[in-house]
Amino acid sequence: MTNNRSHGSRGRYLQDFVFTLLCFTALVVLGTGVVAYLKGQGTDYEVVQQEFWGLAIWYVLDVHVVFGFLAAAAVLAYLITRLLRRGAMNTASPVKRVLAGLAAIIVSLLIAQWIVDQHPILVDTIRATDYPSSRVPDGITLTWSGDPKTTQTVQWRTSDQAETGVLRYRSAGTEAWTQVESSVAPRLTERLANDQEIARHTVELNGLQPATRYEYQVGFAFGWTATHTFTTAPADPVPFQFGYIGDSQEGLLDYGALMEKARERFPQAAFWLHAGDLVNRGCDRDDWDLFFHASRNVFSDYTLVPAIGNHDDCDVLDPRLYTDFLELPKNGSDGVPQEHSYSYTYGEALFVVLNSNLSAEAQAPWLEETLKNSTATWKFTLWHHPAYASKENRDNEEVREYWVPLLDKYKVDIAFQGHDHAYMRTFPMRDNEIKETPAEGTIYLVAVSGTKYYDQVDRDYMAVGFEELSTYQIIDLEGKTLSYKAYDIDGKVVDEFTIEKP
C-alpha cells in the first residue's frame, strides 16, 4: 500500500511539475508578448509590432533583468498549479477555474508591465539600424590606446567578416604610403532585425614622430576612402587647444550638427573629451551606429577621449559595446575593468579618466598615484556623474567622498563631467567650500551636447548655469594661462573664464 501511495504521489508531483512548467511558459510568453506589443506601439520600430511573439522569446532570453520576472512567473505558476490540482479548486466549478486562470493572467501582465516600466531598456528589444554597414568602411574613429606622442589608434567597420582591412598612412607632404593590416573582430547582433553581422577593424599605429601631421586612408575592395588626418602630440610643451562635450545620448543627429560646427570653427582642436553617455542604449548596436554616423566627420580626424556613462554601461548591465568599439589605454585602475579608467599626458597637461558607474573607492588609490606622480603644469579629470550636481538629489556622494579630496590635495584645475543634462560651472571649490580664484580650487563643469535636458536649480556652488542649451567647449593652454569658452551651435560664447597660474 505504501509503495502504491508513494508511486501515486510521485506521479502527481511529476504532473504538478509539468503543469507548473506549462503554466509558467504560458504566463511568460503571454505576459511579455502583450506588454512588449503594447509598449512597442508608437515607437519607430515597426518590427516590434510585427514580431511581437518572437519578441517575447528574445525578451525572455536576452536580458538578465528578466530573471526577476521569470522568478515571479514561476512562483505564480506554482501557485496556480496548487490551486487547480490540490486545493478547493479540485472540486470547484469550471466557471471558478476559468476565473482563476484569468486572474493569474492579469496578475502576470501587471508584473510584466511593472518590470518594463522599471527597465525601459527591455522595450523594443528587437531593433533595426538606420545605418547598416556595407563593404565601404564607415564610422572611422580615432582614439589613443598608447602614448599620444607616438601612437594613434584607428577603428572602423565593414560588412565583410572575412576580409582583413588595410590602412595606409604617411606624414603630410610626403609621397610614400605605409600599409598596415587591421585586426578584425566579427560582431553578431542577433537582436537587430537587419545588418546583424559586421566586422570591427582596429589598427594601432606605433613609432610615429611627435608633433607630426599624418594623412591616412582606409582600403576596401573598390579603392580607398577619402584622406583623413591626425596630428601626434608634441614632445615638448607648446600651446594647444582641446575640446570638451557632455552627454550626446539623445538627439544624436542634433549633436552631430553641433560637432560639425565645432570642427569647422576650431579645426586646430587637438582632441575631444566626452564626459560619457555617448549613446542612450549602450547595449544596442543601432544606437552606436547612429553615434558613429553623427560623428563621422569629426572623430575620423580628431581623437575621441571618452569616459563611460551610465547609459553606455546599460545601467551596469553590460558595457561590452563601449569597450569593443573604442580601443583605449590599458593603464588604469585595478579596481575596475581595463579601459574603464586611464590616463595620458599631452604637452604640459595630465588627463585622468575614471568610471563613475563603478566604485569610486576602488579607483581612488590609482587616481592618487596618477596625480601624485605627474609633474604636469595642468591637471584635469574626466568622469560622468558630477560631484556637484546642477539639480537637487543628483549629487554623487561617493565621488565627493573619495575623489574630490584628491582633486583638492593635488590641485586639479578642472573636473570635466556630464550626466545632468544642463550646463553648469561651479566656483573654484576646495574642501567643499567656495574659493576666490581658480588657483585656490578646482572648477567642476557639467555640459550637454545632445538634446535631452533636465531642469536646474540654483545651488550655492553654481557660478554659471543654463537649462536646455547644447554646447561645446574649447580650452586653450599656453604656458601658465588657460582660457576656456563654451559655445552654442551658433558660435555664441555662453560662458568663459581664464586661469592664471602663479
Min dist CB 466 to Fe ion, Å, is 18
Q: In whole angstroms, how close is the CB of 455 to Fe ion at the nearest point?
A: 15
CB closer to Fe ion, 243 vs 309 = 309
**Per CB under 5 A, 287 contacts Fe ion:** no
CA–CA dist 496, 482 (Å, integer): 11
Three-state DSSP at 85 gives: helix
- Confirm or reject binding of residue 284 to Fe ion (CB under 5 A): no
Q: Single out the segment in contact with Fe ion by CB under 5 A; choices: 218-226, 287-295, 331-339, 413-421.
A: 413-421
Contact 289, 316 (CB under 8 A): no
310 or 370: CB nearest Fe ion: 310
Find out whether 212 and 232 touch, Cβ atoms under 8 Å: yes
Apex 270 CA angle, 312 and 335, nearest 5: 40
Q: Pick from 246, 309, 329, 438: which binds Fe ion (CB under 5 A)?
A: 309
Q: DSSP string of 262-292?
A: HHHH-TT--EEEE-S--SS-TT-HHHHHHHH
Which segment (17-25, 203-211, 218-226, 414-422) binds Fe ion by CB under 5 A? 414-422
CB-wise, 231 or 417, nearer to Fe ion?
417
* Residue 162: CB minimum distance to Fe ion, A: 38
Stretch that binds Fe ion, among 304-312, 357-365, 436-444, 459-467 (CB under 5 A): 304-312
Question: Contact 247/416 with Cβ under 8 angstroms?
Answer: no
CA dist., res. 292 & res. 300, Å (int)? 10
Please tell me the distance from the alpha carbon of residue 412 to that of residue 315, in angstroms, as a whole number.
29
Distance CA 226, CA 347 (A): 30
Residue nearest to Fe ion (CB): 419
The answer to whether 281 contacts Fe ion (rule: CB under 5 A) is no
Q: Which is nearer to Fe ion, 228 or 385 (CB)?
A: 385
Angle made by CA atoms 349, 355, 358, in degrees to the nearest 5? 150
191 binds Fe ion per the rule CB under 5 A: no
Cβ proximity to Fe ion, 55 vs 294, nearer residue: 294
Region from 118-126, 208-216, 308-316, 389-397 binding Fe ion, contact rule CB under 5 A: 308-316
Q: Which stretch binds Fe ion (CB under 5 A): 221-229, 353-361, 371-379, 418-426?
A: 418-426
Site membership for Fe ion, residue 277 (CB under 5 A): yes
Least distance from C-beta 391 to Fe ion, angstroms? 12
Is there binding between residue 306 and Fe ion (CB under 5 A)? Answer: no
Pair 485, 361: CB distance under 8 Å:
no
From the CB of 499, what's the least distance to Fe ion, in Å?
27
C-alpha cell at 62: 536576452
In whole angstroms, how close is the CB of 395 to Fe ion at the nearest point? Answer: 14
Q: At closest approach, how far in Å is the CB of 130 from Fe ion?
A: 23
Cβ-based neighbour number of residue 392 at 10 Å: 10
Kindly tell me the number of DSSP H helices and DSSP E strands found in the chain: 11, 24
Greatest distance between any 2 Cα atoms in the chain: 98
Give the three-class secondary structure for 303. Answer: strand
Interface segment toward Fe ion; rule CB under 5 A; list 20-28, 30-38, 135-143, 303-311: 303-311
Residue 282 binds to Fe ion (criterion: CB under 5 A): no
Q: Is the sign of the CA dihedral 20, 21, 24, 26 positive or negative?
A: negative
Q: Residue type at 427?
A: F
Nearer to Fe ion, 146 or 309 (CB): 309
Residue ranges of alpha helices (H) inside 341-444 are: 360-373, 397-402, 404-409
Q: Which is nearer to Fe ion, 129 or 248 (CB)?
A: 248
The one among 143, 152, 189, 310 contacting Fe ion by CB under 5 A: 310
Q: How far is the CB of 459 from Fe ion (least distance, A)?
A: 18
Q: How far is the CB of 385 from Fe ion (least distance, A)?
A: 7
How many residues form the binding site for Fe ion (CB under 5 A)? 4
Q: Which stretch binds Fe ion (CB under 5 A): 53-61, 295-303, 416-424, 428-436?
A: 416-424
d(CA 463, CA 456): 13
The dihedral through the CA atoms of 180, 186, 191, 193 has a sign that is: positive
* Shortest Å distance, C-beta 420 to Fe ion: 8
Closest to Fe ion by CB, 157 or 274: 274
Q: Which is nearer to Fe ion, 141 or 310 (CB)?
A: 310
Least distance CB 283 / Fe ion (angstroms): 15
Does position 420 interact with Fe ion (CB under 5 A)? The reply is no
The three-point CA angle 325-332-409 to 5° equals: 130
Q: Which of 39, 149, 191, 419 binds Fe ion (CB under 5 A)?
A: 419
Q: Which three cell numbers stand for residue 388?
A: 556637484
Angle at CA of residue 196, ends 275 and 155, nearest 5°: 45
Q: How far is the CB of 285 from Fe ion (least distance, A)?
A: 20
Phi, psi angles (nearest 5°) of residue 389: -85, 160
> What is the Cα–Cα distance from 103 to 106, expressed in whole angstroms?
5
Between 147 and 277, name the residue whose CB sits nearer to Fe ion: 277
Number of other residues whose CB lies within 10 A of the CB of residue 424: 27
Quick one: which segment of 19-27, 179-187, 195-203, 270-278 binds Fe ion (CB under 5 A)? 270-278
Q: Which stretch binds Fe ion (CB under 5 A): 138-146, 224-232, 284-292, 309-317?
A: 309-317
Phi-psi region of 428 (alpha: psi -120 to 50; beta: other; left: phi over 0): beta
Residues that bind Fe ion (CB under 5 A): 277, 309-310, 419
